Structure 1
Amino acid sequence: MADRLPSDHEAVETRRVEVASVGRTDRPRIELPADLDVAAGDVIECVLDGEQYHARVETTLDGEPMLQHAADNRRLAREGDGENRLVEWFADSDCAIGGSVHLDVVTAGYTYGLRTPGSRVVYTATDSPDDSLASIADDLGE
């Protein structure tokens, strides 16, 4: 059974991360801490102010991990296709390029939340799937 965890719970680690732009556009990218338990190409659950989506971890030109696209499901996130929910979330927030947002580590390596500073979110924390089951699911999704 999944646990419900508020963003201010002691089990949720909160980090402040920078919002940069994708190239010279006004589209946001979230620069992730280098010591986060993710690697380029990983597809993670990405909760945006309480709404669950999926995102593929990409890298900046300097090789640092970042997010620039969030999608409705794992397949769309893996392919970088579908509506970009990260752009929608950013446009609806009061955050700005060059500013920061809060990154909540809900389940390390699997579920991360982004929220505007000062907001409180309740997450549904689940265990990450078994690696062999995840790879089978990825194979079926191709």
Structure 2
Amino acid sequence: MPDRIAADNPSVETVRATLAAAGATGRPRIAVPDDSVEAFPVGEVVRLVLGGRTRFARIDRAIDDTVEIRGAYDNRRLAREADGENRLVEWADAEGVDVGRSVLVDVVEAGELYGVRRAGTSAVYELPETSRNDSLAAIAERTRDTEGAGDDE
């Protein structure tokens, strides 16, 4: 069974971002506030959960040098190329979130897994298999470290 983590878990950082308009198209984009950009690796494609479905998004730098997410796509290749159906548009319509409104971006695992939700809602995220393996390896490493801590005394 996949590991799950709630948005209100202390290990999840929640960033209040803005659903802004992307250029002349007016299509929605997520504008990340300047004080949170360190959790968003520019140029990388990450998993992005929208409405309970995992999509993929590339984190970009806008013309004004801010960090943004311009779309969400069905796979990594489509996200890299910004090709195919932009699921961020679909999500905003389904959730009734208009351009100019705040959205919450949950940093579940920086550089790997993010979730977007309408302000005032909650979410539970499934950790990707690699994350679970990494987490288990980290737990095992910490356990080995603490078990052997008294051996040198």
Q: Is the shorter-chain TM-score for this pair beyond 0.5, marking a shared fold?
A: yes
> 1:137 matched to which residue of 2?
none
Unaligned runs of 5+ in 2: 135-153
> 2:24 matched to which residue of 1?
24
Q: 1:49·1:116 contact (CA, 8 Å) conserved in 2?
A: no
- In 2, Cα distance between equivalents of 1:102 and 1:118: 9
Q: 1:13·1:106 contact (CA, 8 Å) conserved in 2?
A: yes
- In 2, Cα distance between equivalents of 1:112 and 1:36: 14
Please report how far the alpha carbon of residue 128 of structure 1 lies from its aligned counterpart in structure 2 after TM superposition: 8.9
Alignment of 1:55-74 (within 5 A): 55-74=57-76
Cα distance per residue 1:80-135 (max 9 Å; x no partner): 111110111011112111111001010011111000111111101232999xxxxx
Q: 2:5·2:125 contact (CA, 8 Å) conserved in 1?
A: yes
Please report how far the alpha carbon of residue 28 of structure 1 lies from its aligned counterpart in structure 2 after TM superposition: 0.4
* Alignment partner of 1:43 out of 27, 42, 45: 45
If you compute each CA radius of gyration, which structure gives the higher value, 1 or 2? 2
Alignment of 1:1-142 (within 5 A): 2-34=2-34, 35-126=37-128, 127=131
Unaligned runs of 5+ in 1: 131-142
Please report how far the alpha carbon of residue 8 of structure 1 lies from its aligned counterpart in structure 2 after TM superposition: 1.6
Q: 2:57·2:71 contact (CA, 8 Å) conserved in 1?
A: yes
Identity among equivalent positions (%) equals 44
> 1:140 matched to which residue of 2?
none
- In 2, Cα distance between equivalents of 1:50 and 1:36: 25
Q: 1:39·1:65 contact (CA, 8 Å) conserved in 2?
A: no
TM-score normalised per structure 2: 0.77
Q: 1:70·1:84 contact (CA, 8 Å) conserved in 2?
A: yes
RMSD: 2.0
- In 1, Cα distance between equivalents of 2:20 and 2:61: 13
- In 2, Cα distance between equivalents of 1:124 and 1:79: 26
Q: 1:110·1:128 contact (CA, 8 Å) conserved in 2?
A: no
TM-score normalised per structure 1: 0.82
Opposite residue 52 of structure 1, the aligned amino acid is T
- In 1, Cα distance between equivalents of 2:72 and 2:50: 9
